[in-house]
Amino acid sequence: FSEKFLRGRRVLVTAGPTAEPIDPVRILTNRSSGRQGFEIAREAARAGAAVTLVAGPCALETPAGVTRIDVETAQEMRDAVIGHLPGTALFVSVAAVSDWRPASAAAEKLRKTDAAPEIRLVENPDILAEVGALNPECRPYTIGFAAETGELEKRARRKLEVKKADAIVGNRFDLAAGSERNTILYVTREGTENFGPAGKDEVARFILRRAAGSLGR
Ligand code: C5P
ipTM: 0.94
The three-class DSSP label of residue 65 is coil
Q: What is the pLDDT of residue 90?
A: 98
**Helix 200-214 × helix 35-46 angle, to 10°:** 60
Q: How many other C-beta atoms are found inside a 10 Å radius of the C-beta of residue 184? A: 26
User: Of residues 30, 135, 171, 182, which has the active-site annotation?
Assistant: 30
Cβ contacts of 68 within 8 Å, gap of 6 or more: 52, 53, 55, 62
Ligand 1 nearest-atom number relative to CA 130: 20
Q: What is the pTM of this model?
A: 0.95
pLDDT of residue 128: 98
Query: How many whole angstroms separate alpha carbon 96 and alpha carbon 68?
Result: 17
Q: H-helix or E-strand containing 217? A: none
The residue whose CB lies within 8 Å of the most ligand 1 atoms, and thus the one to mutate among 93, 122, 142, is 93
Distance (Å, whole) CA 196 – CA 81:
29
Instruction: List residues forming the annotated binding site.
Output: 99, 109, 125-128, 145, 159, 163
User: CA-to-CA distance for 93 and 131, rounded, in angstroms?
Assistant: 10
Residue 194 annotated as catalytic: no
Q: Cα–Cα distance between 127 and 82 in angstroms, integer?
A: 9
- The contacts of residue 118 (CB under 8 Å, 6+ apart) are none
User: 76 CA to middle of ligand 1, Å?
Assistant: 15
Residue length of the chain: 217
Which residues, given as ranges, of the chain have pLDDT below 70? Answer: 1, 175, 177, 217
Beta bridge partners of residue 92, listed in sequence order: 13, 143
Centre of ligand 1 from the C-alpha of residue 18, in Å: 11
- Residues touching ligand 1 (Cβ under 6 Å) are 14, 74, 93-95, 97, 99, 124, 126-128, 144-146, 159
CA 38 to mean position of chain CA atoms = 10
What phi and psi, each to the nearest 5 degrees, are found at residue 152?
-80, -55
Separation between Cα atoms, residue 156 and residue 46, nearest integer Å: 28
The DSSP secondary structure of 97-122, one letter per residue, reads --SEEESS--SSPPPP-SSPPP--EE
